[in-house]
Amino acid sequence: MNVWIIVAADPAVHGLADAGRSIASASGGEVVAAVAGPRGVAEQVARCGVDRVLWFGEPGESPVEAYAPVVAAQVTRIGAALVLAAGRSGDRVLLAAVAAALGCPVLTGVNAVRAGNGAGPVVERSVYGGIAEQTERLTGPVALVMAGGGLGRGESAPVEEVAVEAGQLGGLTVTRTTGRDAASVDLTAAPRVLAIGRGVRRREDLPMIEALAAAARAGVGCSRPLAEGLGWYPRDRYIGVSGQKVAPQLYLAVGISGEVQHMSGCRGARVLVAVNKDPNALIFAEADYGIVGDLYDVVPALTAALEQGSAA
Amino acid sequence: MRIVVAYKWAPNPQDATVGRDGRVDWSRTRATVSDYDAVAAELARRVVDAGGGEVVGVCVGPAAAGSGAARKAALPKGYDRAVIVADDRLDHLDTATTAAYLAALVRRIGEVGAVLCGDGSTDVGAKLVPAYLAGLLGWPCLMEVTALSGAPGEWVVERAYGAGTQQLRATAPLVLGVATDAAVPRAAGMKDILAASKKPVETLTADDLAEVGGVVGLRAGGVELIEARPPVLRPRRHQIFDGEPAAAARDLVAALRTEGVL
C-alpha cells in the first residue's frame, strides 16, 4: 500500500511521514514524497522519514500550483493507496489535483489516521465546522488533508529529480512577489495564547491587548474576521476550523463568542479562560474560568494583576 | 468573455444540532448563499463589467437550491444568468462529487474563460472544490485570489502569498478560489432584486448530468462510516469570577497561578 505525501514548498511534513509510515509498514508499501518547490525543500522533506522523494526541479517563474498535472501524472503512474498533504493552500491545490486524477475522495478535518486491523486504514476527523466527529474506514484510495507536523531531522532519503518540460506547466507565470518576509509566529508552539474576537471594537484598541499578551507572555491569535476582512492580524494568527489549531497550556479568549468554527481550533487547551460581556456567550460552556464583563475594563485589570504578581 | 461563478446553497453548522450518535440535524437551519461566494461573484461582475461578456452562476445542491427563495438570494449577487442542479440526491455532497458536477456544468456551458469560487462553503469549508474541479478540467488553479483583470488567454491574477502578495499571468482558462476579503459584495437594492428576478435560470436534476458518473470516472465509495459522535469535550470547571473587574482579575490570576499555567 503506497502512501504519498504531496508537498508544495513547505517542508514541515514530519507528522504526515509518521502517519504514512504506520500505514505503509502495516501493508508492505513505501512512503514517497512528491515535492514541488526549490531543491532545499526536497532535501528537508527527505529527512522526514520517507522512503524516497520525487522532486520536480527548480520552479523558476512557475508557481508551485503549475506542477499539479505533473505531480498527478507521477502518482497515478506509480499508484497510490493513500495520499496525504498538509492544509496550506499550495498543498491543497496539488493534493486535489492528484485526487482528481485518481478519481478518489478527498477528506479534510483529519485528526488522525491509523493502520486499522487489516480492513483498511481508519481515519478520525472533525466534520461540518467541528460540530461532529467521525471515525471512518478507507476501503479504496483516498486523499487526506491533515496537520503537517514539524520539520524532519533524520537520515536523508534519496531525492530523484523528475524532468519537467515548460509546456507541461500550464501557462502560469509569476510576474511579481511583494512583502513575503514577515516574522511569522508559530502559535501551535506557544504555551499561552491570548485570542481576541469581534468584542474588540477598533484597531486602536490593539495596544491594550498587546500589553496583556506581554504581561501574560502569551502569543496573540484571533478569530477569523480580525485576520480577514479587518486585516488587523496576518492570516497565520487566525485560530479556527480552517486556521490554526492550538492546544496550549492556557488559552485566554477575549471578546470571542465561542462559535463552533472557532472552538474547534482551541478546545484542546489545557485551561481555557473566557472574558465576554454576554453571560450567555457559548464560550462559557467550554471554559474553565470566566469573567463576565466589559473587556475594556477587564483586560487592563488583568494586565495590572499579572504585573503585580510578577513584581512580588 | 464568459466567467462561471460557483455558489453553494448551504446552512451554517452553528445552527445545527448533533445527537449522541453524531448524526447532524439540519432541520432547524436555514440555507443561504455563502458570504464568500458573494465575494467571488463580485469579482467576476467587475471583470465582466470592464471587458464585456457574461457572468454565469452555477450551483449544485438539494432541491431547495432551485427554489424561488434560493434563486432570489443568488441572482442579485451579480450573475447574468444561472444554471442550477437541484436534486435531493445531491444534498451534503462530498468534495469530489461536487467538483464532478461542476465540471459537467462548465463543459455544458462551454467557452468558459475562468471559474471563480468562494473561499470555502458555509457548511463544510473544505477549500478543495476549486482545485479538484481544476484537476478534472485539466486547468490550473490558484487560491487566495485578491484581484483579477485582463481577459481569457491573458489573465492577470493577484493572490495573497505568505505575508504578502504575488501577481501572476495566465494564458489559459483557470479555476480561482477567491480570498474572503478580495472585494466587498454589492448590497442589492430593490432595483437589483427586481432585475435579478427576470434573469434566465436553467434548473436541472442529477439525471440531466448522468454522464458525471461515467465520464469523470469517479470511484464510488472508498469511505465507510464506522461511528460518529459530538466532539469529545474536556471536562471544564465553569468557574466564573464575580465582582469589580480589578478583584475578578486578581482572583483569576491567582487561580491560573495555582493551576501552574502562568
Instruction: Give the residues of chain B that fall short of pLDDT 70.
Output: 213-220
CB contacts under 8 A, B 151-180 vs A, are 156, 160-172, 174, 177, 179-180
Looking at residue B216, its pLDDT comes to: 44
- Name which of A97, A231, A288 is nearest B239 (Cβ-Cβ): A288
pLDDT digits (tens, 9 = 90+) for B166-190: 999 999 999 999 999 999 998 888 9
Written as nine digits, the cell of B108 is 455544458
Say how many CB pairs under 8 Å bridge A and B: 301
Tell me phi and psi for residue A190, to 5 degrees: -80, 130
pLDDT for A242: 87
Decide: A15 and A150 in contact? Cβ < 8 Å: yes
Mean pLDDT within A150-176: 93
Residues contacting B211, CB < 8 A, separation 6+ = B104
Q: What is the pLDDT of residue B211?
A: 73
User: Which residues of chain A make contact with B230, given a CB cutoff of 8 A?
Assistant: 131-133
Cell 520536480 -> residue: A56
A167-180 pLDDT, tens digit per residue, is 899 789 999 999 86
What mean pLDDT comes out for the span A76-82? 94
Note whether B253 contacts A309, CB cutoff 8 Å.
yes
Going by pLDDT thresholds of 50, 70 and 90, the confidence category of residue A183 is low
| Average pLDDT, rounded, for chain A | 94
Lowest mean pLDDT among A50-59, A73-82, A225-234, A282-291: A225-234
**CB–CB of A105 and B245 under 8 A?**
no
Min Cα–Cα distance to chain A from B137, Å: 9
Question: How many angstroms separate the Cα of B211 from the Cα of each of A101, B214, B216?
Answer: 17, 5, 8
| A291 touching B (Cβ < 8 Å) | yes
Neighbours of B100 (CB within 10 A): 26
Considering only CB atoms, B262 lies closest to which of A250, A285, A290, namely A250
- Decide if B28 touches A, using CB distance below 8 A: no
Predicted local confidence at residue A64, as pLDDT: 97
Instruction: Say what the pLDDT of residue B217 is.
Output: 45
- Could you report the predicted ipTM of this complex, rounded to two decimals? 0.94
Mean pLDDT of A281-285: 97
Closest chain B residue by Cα to residue A72 = B135
| Residue A208 pLDDT | 98
Residue type, A111: N
Beta pairing partners, B9: B33
What are the b/e assignments for A126-155, b being 16+ CB within 10 Å?
bbbbbbbbbbbebebbbbbbbbbbeebeee
Residue A111 forms contact with B (CB below 8 Å) = no
